[in-house]
Chains A and B, each alone.
Chain A
Amino acid sequence: MNFIALKMLMGDRAKYIGIIIGLTFASLLITQQASVFVGLMTRTFGAISDLGQAEIWVMDPKVQFVDDVKPMKDTKLLNVRGIEGVQWAVPIFKGLLKARLENGNFQTCIVFGLDDATLMGGPPTMVEGRLEDLRRAEAVIVDVNGARGKLARPPTEPGGERRPLEIGDTLELNDHRAVVVGLCNVSRTFQSQPTIYTTYSRATQFAPRERRLLSFILVKAKPGEDPEQVRERIQKETGLLALTSAEFKWTTVKYFMKYTGIPINFGIAVLLGFLVGTAIAGQTFYNFTLDNIKQFGALKAMGASNMTLLRMILLQALTAGGIGYGLGVGLASLFGRAVRGSELAFRMMPQILLISAGAVLFICMLSALFSIRKVMKLEPAIVFKS
């Protein structure tokens, strides 16, 4: 009876397309909006991901997320280095500094100051130049997106294209001259500001004068030591907040989830996709059943059991769901591919695919439920009514 169910479903082109469009739309909107949301949330901890060598982040206990820098005394670094189980501990400066551009405009940049001796915590990949070049006087490394975008130099002639920042070009950071010695790739950040790397000592010179400038201490546990235990020890003995990279990422995400309207906005979009999909697909599927009610009645009269009809309707719903889900997820993937490397955040995780599949399955089952109820209660004698 399966082929009869499928032929019935696909035979009514207009309704079939209507059901598929409804499910595709729901699947697309749920997957795409959830992926953009996850992409955005991933960007909030981009800096933590990029500084991957560190197992533990040490910071002021009042820090709520990675961009919420509350500087500590430089002496805290020595305290942490003295704790049992710590292999190395390096200082990191992280701050927002204004870069003056050639055209006189100002651009806020995220500046990382790396440990002068080890340059630990540098950019994940260099595009041009070498990390060691940071040891040269006034040296900075700029991320390529920033160099090609917000930090690009003005065109040489009116109407021409802006010129990307290149090695050898200079910048003015907080009235200090800086020379570009390299270009790097970094994870895009939530605010999409250009990222600049330099040494810790130079970064603290660029930064406005303050008593405390140490933003974070990055720590690696000794081989054989449990990072979790080292983290607890640091926290207990220094009174600072110590988090593993994973914990710090979650702390950051939770902050954005709690204190920004982002989850609600995306949640509404996902809910709308779900509701509209349910309305279109559910209504069309129910209408499809109503239109075929005499056919179901005839099948019932000819000996098809309720169980057979139930299986037919479920097969119809699941087939439409499978096709709609596939198309929706496919379109969302194409969207993700199209925006790859752009300002738009997009991260399609397997969990999103599962949630989307669950939502589409729920819509299908809900639609099928009403149809099944109608067919189960159907009197086969309906076939003799003209």
Chain B
Amino acid sequence: MHTEQTMAVSCRGVTKVYTSGGTKTHALRGVDLDVYPSELLMLVGPSGCGKTTLISVIAGILDQDEGEALVFGRNFKQMSQRQKTAWRGVHVGFVFQAFNLLPALTARENIAVPLLILGEPKRRALERAQAVLEKVDLGGRGDSLPSQLSGGQQQRVAIGRALVHGPRLIVCDEPTSSLDHETGKTVIELLKRTAVGPDRALVIVTHDPRIFGYADRIARMDDGRITRIETQALPQ
């Protein structure tokens, strides 16, 4: 039985309101959600339902207005901005819809970025990045710039970048939405194969029904609330 402290992510009553020109938009309305270690959880729902806001809170890049979000027992509300940034650097990996690779860096250098942020010497970081490149089946493309890679290859580099420093939580925002069916399938299989592991959780925001089958659980959201959680196969 998992407790709040052993849970990968534990959200209780998380609320987020955006205010723009006097208009209030309730992005999250008291969300309760647990993510178990070694689980692949998908957050699905229509556009504007609060999926991206929720993973931003879970990843520690956005502060909720109310409620608690614990990630591997750490409460972001009790951490300073600086501590949160440092914590993210060590424990969180990101995969973005638009890849967000640095266009001037090669694939290998892009993968090495999180290690460099953590202060690893450049040479060692590039060696470790090369090993990850092999893992994402891009061993021979280390010197290629993002512009020289296909969309699928760029997303594989982004997955490599999310994994290279061994984070405990990986958050992915629409990782397959800008890829064709076959490439999307390859990418989600790669994510499932490489990113899910003991003591590590993977949260994917998507509305791509083609990849729902890869999730352990699917949390459906609408209008800032979790409306249903579907269990496909509970982790041990």
A binding-site residues for B, Cβ under 8 Å: 1, 3-4, 7-8, 10-12, 294-295, 297-306, 308, 379-381, 383-386
Assembled-state Cα–Cα distance A385/B173 (Å): 10
Known: A302-B88, A302-B117. A381 touches B100 (CB 8 A): no
B69: min CB distance to chain A, Å: 14
The residue among B82, B97, B100, B173 with the most chain A CB atoms within 10 A of its own CB is B100
Assembled-state Cα–Cα distance A294/B102 (Å): 9
Assembled-state Cα–Cα distance A12/B122 (Å): 22
A386 touches B90 (CB 8 A): no
Residue B56 at the A interface, CB < 8 A?
yes
Assembled-state Cα–Cα distance A304/B85 (Å): 7
Q: Which residues of B are found within 8 Å of A305, using beta-carbon distances?
A: 82, 85-86
**Cβ-defined partner of B173 (8 Å) among A300, A308, A384:** A384
Assembled-state Cα–Cα distance A298/B162 (Å): 11
Residue B118 at the A interface, CB < 8 A?
yes
Which residue of chain A lies nearest to B82 when distances are taken between CB atoms in the complex? A305
Which residue of chain B lies nearest to A386 when distances are taken between CB atoms in the complex? B97
Secondary structure class of chain A's binding surface, majority of residues: helix
Q: Mark each residue of chain B from 40 to 61: 1 if its CB lies under 8 Å from any CB of chain A, else 0.
A: 0000000000001001100101
A302 touches B114 (CB 8 A): yes
Assembled-state Cα–Cα distance A306/B104 (Å): 21
- Having A11-B105, A304-B89, one finds 19 other A-B pairs with CB under 8 Å, namely A1-B116, A4-B102, A4-B105, A8-B102, A8-B104, A10-B104, A298-B100, A299-B113, A301-B88, A301-B94, A302-B88, A302-B117, A304-B85, A379-B62, A381-B56, A383-B94, A383-B100, A384-B55, A384-B96
Assembled-state Cα–Cα distance A11/B147 (Å): 12
Assembled-state Cα–Cα distance A17/B86 (Å): 35
Q: Which residues of A are found within 8 Å of B82, using beta-carbon distances?
A: 305
Residue B235 at the A interface, CB < 8 A?
no
Q: Which residues of A are found within 8 Å of B62, using beta-carbon distances?
A: 379-381
B96: min CB distance to chain A, Å: 6
B56 touches A299 (CB 8 A): no
Residue B98 at the A interface, CB < 8 A?
yes
B59 touches A301 (CB 8 A): yes
Residue B103 at the A interface, CB < 8 A?
yes
Q: Which residues of B are found within 8 Å of A7, using beta-carbon distances?
A: 102, 104-105, 109
Q: Which residues of A are found within 8 Å of B118, using beta-carbon distances?
A: 303
B227: min CB distance to chain A, Å: 21
B75-132: which residues lie under 8 A (CB-CB) from chain A?
Answer: 82, 85-90, 92, 94, 96-98, 100, 102-105, 109, 113-114, 116-118, 122
Q: Mark each residue of chain B from 129 to 161: 1 if its CB lies under 8 Å from any CB of chain A, else 0.
A: 000000000000000000000000000000001
Assembled-state Cα–Cα distance A203/B167 (Å): 93
Assembled-state Cα–Cα distance A308/B109 (Å): 17
Q: Mark each residue of chain B from 10 to 51: 1 if its CB lies under 8 Å from any CB of chain A, else 0.
A: 000000000000000000000000000000000000000000
Which residue of chain A lies nearest to B158 when distances are taken between CB atoms in the complex? A298
Assembled-state Cα–Cα distance A385/B100 (Å): 11
Assembled-state Cα–Cα distance A129/B116 (Å): 73
Which residue of chain B lies nearest to A307 when distances are taken between CB atoms in the complex? B82
Assembled-state Cα–Cα distance A386/B97 (Å): 7
B180: min CB distance to chain A, Å: 18
17 A-B interface contacts by CB (under 8 A): A1-B117, A4-B116, A7-B102, A11-B102, A11-B105, A295-B100, A301-B94, A302-B89, A302-B113, A302-B161, A305-B85, A305-B86, A380-B61, A381-B56, A384-B52, A384-B55, A386-B174
Known: A299-B117, A303-B86, A304-B85. A11 touches B96 (CB 8 A): no
Q: Which residues of B are found within 8 Å of A385, using beta-carbon distances?
A: 52
A302: min CB distance to chain B, Å: 5
Q: Which residues of A are found within 8 Å of B88, using beta-carbon distances?
A: 301-303
A348: min CB distance to chain B, Å: 36
**Cβ-defined partner of A384 (8 Å) among B56, B102, B103, B109:** B56
Q: Which residues of A are found within 8 Å of B94, using beta-carbon distances?
A: 298, 301-302, 383
A382: min CB distance to chain B, Å: 9
B174: min CB distance to chain A, Å: 8
**Cβ-defined partner of A303 (8 Å) among B96, B117, B122:** B117
Assembled-state Cα–Cα distance A298/B113 (Å): 10
Q: Which residues of A are found within 8 Å of B59, using beta-carbon distances?
A: 301
Assembled-state Cα–Cα distance A125/B109 (Å): 64
A107: min CB distance to chain B, Å: 63
B175: min CB distance to chain A, Å: 12
B104 touches A383 (CB 8 A): no
Q: Which residues of B are found within 8 Å of A1, using beta-carbon distances?
A: 116-117
Q: Which residues of B are found within 8 Å of A11, using beta-carbon distances?
A: 102-105
Which residue of chain A lies nearest to B118 when distances are taken between CB atoms in the complex? A303
Assembled-state Cα–Cα distance A300/B174 (Å): 20
